Amino acid sequence: MSHVYGNTQALSEIDLTLSAGRIYGFIGPDGVGKSTLLGLIAGAREVQSGDVTTLDGDMRNARERSRTSPRIAYMPQGLGKNLYMDLTVRENLEFFGRLFGQKKSERKQRIDRLVTATGLAPFTKRPAGNLSGGMKQKLGLCCALIHDPDILILDEPTTGVDPLSRQQFWDLINDIRQSRPTMTVLVATAYMDEASRFDHLIAMNDGVILAQGSAQHLLESTDTKNLEAAFIALLPEDQRKDHQELVIPPRPQSGDKPAIEAEGLTRRFGDFTAVDHVSFRIEKGEIFGFLGSNGCGKTTTMKMLTGLLPASEGKAWLFGEPSSGKDLKMRERVGYMSQAFSLYAELTVRQNLDLHARLFHLPKDRVAARIDDLSDQFGLSHYMDDLAEKLPLGVRQRLSLAVAIIHSPEILILDEPTSGVDPIARDDFWQLLIDLSRKQGVTIFISTHFMNEAARCDRISLMHAGQVLDSDTPDALREKRGTETLEEAFIAYLKEATGAQEKADDQISQNNDDTTLSLAGTGHSKGNSDPRPQSNNNGETGNKTVPGFSPRRLWAYSLRETMGLLRDPIRLVFALLGTLILMPVFGLGITFDVENLTYAALDRDQTPESRTYLEGLAGSRYFTEKAPIRNYDEMERRIKSGELALVVEIPPDFGHKLQQGRTPEIAATIDGTMPFRAETIHGYVQGIHQKYVADHALRETGNTIAPLPASIQTRYRYNQDFKSIYAIVPSVIALLLVFIPAVLMAVGVVREKELGSITNLYVTPVSRFEFLLGKQIPYIALGMTNFALMTFLAIVAFGVPVKGSFPALLLGAFLFVVSTTGLGLLISSFTKTQIAALFGTAIATMIPSVMFSGMMQPISSLEAGPRVLSMIIPTSHFMTISVGTFTKALGFMQLYPQFLILALFFPVLTGLSMLLLPRQER
- The CATH number given to whatever domain includes residue 103 is 3.40.50.300
Phi and psi, residue 407, nearest 5°: -100, 15
The Cβ-side half-sphere exposure at 753, using a 13 Å CA radius, reads 21
Flag whether 804 is in a domain.
yes
Burial class (CB in 10 A: 0-12, 13-18, 19+), 886: buried
Q: Report, in angstroms and rounded to the nearest whole number, the Rg of the chain calculated over CA atoms.
A: 37
Q: What is the distance between the alpha carbons of residues 715 and 719, in angstroms, rounded to a whole number?
A: 10
- Of 355-369, 470-484, 609-623, 811-825, the one with minimum mean pLDDT is 609-623
Q: What is the distance between the alpha carbons of residues 119 and 510, in angstroms, rounded to a whole number?
A: 10
More confident residue, 17 or 424: 17
More confident residue, 690 or 234: 234
Flag whether 342 is in a domain.
yes
> Residue 349: which residues within 8 A CB-CB, separation 6 or more?
375, 380, 383, 384, 385, 386, 388, 391, 399
Same domain for 128 and 228, yes or no, is yes
Stretch 56-64: mean pLDDT: 89
pLDDT attached to residue 718: 62
The whole-angstrom distance between residue 728's C-alpha and the CA centroid of its chain comes to 36
User: Would you say residue 339 has pLDDT above 80?
Assistant: no
Phi-psi region of 266 (alpha: psi -120 to 50; beta: other; left: phi over 0): beta
User: Tell me, what DSSP letter sits at residue 522?
Assistant: T
pLDDT attached to residue 184: 93
Q: What is the distance between the alpha carbons of residues 805 and 196, in angstroms, rounded to a whole number?
A: 74
242-251 confidence digits (pLDDT tens): 777 788 888 8
Same domain for 323 and 196, yes or no, is no
Which residue from 572, 469, 547 is spatially nearest to 778, judged by alpha carbons?
Answer: 572
Flag whether 714 is in a domain.
no
Burial class (CB in 10 A: 0-12, 13-18, 19+), 288: buried
| DSSP letters spanning 826-862 | HHHHH-SSHHHHHHHHHHHHHHHHHHHSSSSS-GGGS
Same domain for 184 and 272, yes or no, is no
Q: What is the distance between the alpha carbons of residues 784 and 342, in angstroms, rounded to a whole number?
A: 44
The whole-angstrom distance between residue 448's C-alpha and the CA centroid of its chain comes to 27
409-431 confidence digits (pLDDT tens): 888 888 878 776 778 877 888 88
Same domain for 288 and 190, yes or no, is no
Q: Domain of 872?
A: 552-587+723-916
The whole-angstrom distance between residue 844's C-alpha and the CA centroid of its chain comes to 21
Helix (H) or strand (E) holding 280: strand 272-282
Same domain for 423 and 397, yes or no, is yes
Q: Which residues on adjacent β-strands are paired with residue 278? A: 265
Q: What angle do CA 569, 572, 576 make, to 5 degrees?
A: 135
> Residue 919: which residues within 8 A CB-CB, separation 6 or more?
62, 761, 762, 768
794-832 confidence digits (pLDDT tens): 899 888 899 999 999 999 999 999 999 999 999 999 998
Flag whether 530 is in a domain.
no
Q: What is the distance between the alpha carbons of residues 500 and 480, in angstroms, rounded to a whole number?
A: 18
Phi-psi region of 702 (alpha: psi -120 to 50; beta: other; left: phi over 0): left
> Residue 543: which residues within 8 A CB-CB, separation 6 or more?
147, 148, 522, 523, 524, 531, 533
Burial class (CB in 10 A: 0-12, 13-18, 19+), 869: middle
What are the b/e assignments for 20-54, b being 16+ CB within 10 Å? eebbbbbbbbbbbbbbbbbbbbbbbbbbeeeebeb
Task: With both helix axes pointing from N to C terminus, report the angle between 364-377 and 393-404 in degrees, rounded to the nearest 10.
Answer: 140
Whether the CB-CB separation of 282 and 445 falls below 8 Å is answered with yes
Alpha helices by DSSP H, listed for 156-266, are 163-179, 192-195, 215-222, 227-234, 237-240
E strands present in 55-100: 57-58, 72-75
Cα dihedral 602, 606, 607, 609, rounded to 10, equals 10
pLDDT attached to residue 507: 45
Which residue from 594, 846, 583 is spatially nearest to 724, judged by alpha carbons?
Answer: 594
- Of 86-90, 377-381, 507-511, the one with minimum mean pLDDT is 507-511
735-766 confidence digits (pLDDT tens): 889 888 999 899 888 998 888 888 888 888 89
Flag whether 546 is in a domain.
no
Burial class (CB in 10 A: 0-12, 13-18, 19+), 697: middle
User: Would you say residue 514 has pLDDT above 70?
Assistant: no
Q: Helix (H, G, I), strand (E, B), or coil: what is residue 335? A: strand
Same domain for 658 and 783, yes or no, is no
| DSSP letters spanning 412-456 | EEEESTTTT--HHHHHHHHHHHHHHHHHH--EEEEEES-HHHHTT
Whether the CB-CB separation of 874 and 738 falls below 8 Å is answered with yes
Phi and psi, residue 318, nearest 5°: -120, 125
Whether the CB-CB separation of 210 and 234 falls below 8 Å is answered with yes
44-53 confidence digits (pLDDT tens): 899 989 999 9
Stretch 393-420: mean pLDDT: 83
More confident residue, 327 or 81: 81
pLDDT attached to residue 571: 81
Whether the CB-CB separation of 913 and 826 falls below 8 Å is answered with yes
**Both ends of the chain: CA-CA distance in Å?**
14
Q: What angle do CA 852, 853, 859 make, to 5 degrees?
A: 75
Q: Which amino acid is at 839?
A: F
Same domain for 693 and 772, yes or no, is no
Stretch 161-185: mean pLDDT: 83
- Of 432-436, 524-528, 584-588, the one with minimum mean pLDDT is 524-528
855-904 confidence digits (pLDDT tens): 666 676 667 777 788 788 898 899 889 988 988 889 999 899 999 999 99
pLDDT attached to residue 722: 53
Flag whether 485 is in a domain.
no
Q: Which residues on adjacent β-strands are paired with residue 188? A: 26, 155
273-315 confidence digits (pLDDT tens): 889 999 988 888 899 988 877 677 888 888 888 777 888 999 9
Which residue from 134, 137, 142 is spatially nearest to 113, judged by alpha carbons?
Answer: 142
Whether the CB-CB separation of 160 and 557 falls below 8 Å is answered with no
Whether the CB-CB separation of 746 and 837 falls below 8 Å is answered with yes
pLDDT mean across residues, the chain:
83
554-590 confidence digits (pLDDT tens): 999 999 999 988 888 888 888 888 778 887 877 666 6
Phi-psi region of 501 (alpha: psi -120 to 50; beta: other; left: phi over 0): alpha
pLDDT attached to residue 590: 62
Whether the CB-CB separation of 312 and 303 falls below 8 Å is answered with no
Same domain for 606 and 662, yes or no, is yes
pLDDT attached to residue 547: 55
684-726 confidence digits (pLDDT tens): 888 888 888 877 777 777 665 555 566 555 655 665 555 667 7
**C-alpha pair distances (Å), 608 with each of 220, 605, 654:** 119, 9, 10
| DSSP letters spanning 3-60 | EEETTEEEE-S------TT-EEEEE--TTSSHHHHHHHHHTSB---BS--EETTEETT
Please state the pTM of the whole predicted model: 0.76
Number of structural domains found in the chain = 4
Flag whether 539 is in a domain.
no
Strand 443-448 and strand 287-291: pairing?
parallel
| DSSP letters spanning 647-693 | EEEE-TTHHHHHHTT-----EEEE--SSHHHHHHHHHHHHHHHHHHH
Whether the CB-CB separation of 820 and 743 falls below 8 Å is answered with no
Domain boundary among 667, 701, 735: 701
Same domain for 229 and 267, yes or no, is no
Flag whether 676 is in a domain.
yes
- The CATH number given to whatever domain includes residue 604 is 3.40.1710.10
The whole-angstrom distance between residue 261's C-alpha and the CA centroid of its chain comes to 38
Q: Which residues on adjacent β-strands are paired with residue 315? A: 263
User: Would you say residue 516 has pLDDT above 80?
Assistant: no
Phi-psi region of 48 (alpha: psi -120 to 50; beta: other; left: phi over 0): alpha
Same domain for 307 and 287, yes or no, is yes
pLDDT attached to residue 517: 37
Same domain for 578 and 602, yes or no, is no
Same domain for 408 and 334, yes or no, is yes
What are the b/e assignments for 799-812, b being 16+ CB within 10 Å? ebebebbeebbbbb
